[in-house]
Amino acid sequence: MSEEIRILELFGGIGACTQAFKRLGIPYKIADYVEIDKHAVDSYNAINGTNYEPQDITEWDKDIDVDFIMHGSPCQDFSVAGRQAGGDEGSGTRSSLMYETIRIVNKLKPKYVLWENVKNLLSKTHIHNFEKYVDIMSEGGYNSYYKVLNAKNYGIPQNRERVYTLSIRKDIDNGYIFPEAEPLVLRLKDMLDTEVDEKYYLRDDQIVNILNWKSFRNPIKEAQTGDDICNCITAKSNTSLNASMLLIKNATKKGYDIATNGDSVNLAYPNSTTRRGRVGHQVSQTLQCNDNMGVVTKENYETLSATIVKENNRNAKHQQDLLQSDDGICRTIPAGTHASTPHLLKTVTTNEGELKIRKLTPKECWRLMRFFWWKFWKSTKSQ
């Protein structure tokens, strides 16, 4: 395909549509980009080398030649995470802006229109808006094909389900089949930075809020004696659980879900008694416009023991003798050893490594949205 496709990105965000064309090697030209959020516009310009200004879609009424319209209209009022205000035409909700796209489609008559939105758009509560959209598009001369796709089935370790609706102008339509799912090669661990600032790690009190200790001891509380001396640290990393897993609160009969190294943990509403599905096993749960997605990481003994030495200004060999015997098992720290309790609680562990929970960094979220991820993957393979 040598001829450039002229793209109009509505609700353009940081340019996922443009990014897809780049990745697929399809020649394109941006006819216009419409986005009201100034921060998203700044990001789009930085990524694409453009100089767009924010535009309000309700005021957009240009006469331009367009082949392809992509619109990711606001999903907040359809999403299960929102207030379910819906998107009825004329309701004034953010999600009702989908009808602005229809206005523009009827004006410009592009060859193709791609709409992306949350899966809950197809629920009993909101499906009438989806059906109305398809009906109006049909009246305007388009056949529509839709399917719920999950990012983890197309190369990215994020459990992100979205409904994609491709409308093709009837005079050129030869049918459309969505791509088949493919095996997931990458895991969330593959997308993580090797060095992360301490500010992304959860405090002990934050961790306690999302862990389930109904059937087990709470090691953090038990370890705090109040006299600045750390209690006995066992071979199970100061916990009655195996050091290879954490129990995360989950509103099911069992009461928890098991999280291991490389699993994601949704950190939103930590005190909720009705929240379920917090843990993403080796994949990220759906990323949102906040910093509530965490990941379980395992810190190795060598790195952590070095951290203890640095923070407590002690001799490395002496610390290692205190913490570890020849058989590789973490031993009791003598009561006379006056070390900084908070640091010990965070870092002392067995040779297997200690599980920690931290938030994903912006760069990691970037990769999980498939922006330049292949460059990252290639670089890790060459190391």
- In three-state secondary structure terms, 241 is coil
302 Cβ contact partners less than 8 Å away, ≥ 6 residues apart:
none
Question: How many helices (H) and strands (E) would you count in the chain?
Answer: 11, 14
Sign of the torsion angle spanned by Cα atoms 183, 188, 189, 192: positive
From 75, 230, 330, 365, active-site residue: 75
* Long-range contacts from 133-138, C-beta under 8 angstroms, 24+ separation: 133/98, 133/102, 133/165, 134/165, 136/102, 137/102, 137/105, 137/113, 137/167
Q: What is the CA radius of gyration of the chain?
A: 26
| Buried-state track 126-156, b at ≥16 Cβ within 10 A, e below 16 | beebbebbbeebeeeebbbebeebbbbeeeb
Q: How far apart are CA 335 and CA 229, in angstroms?
A: 7
Is 75 assigned a catalytic role? yes
Hey, which residues does 146 pair with through a beta bridge?
165
Residues classed as catalytic = 75
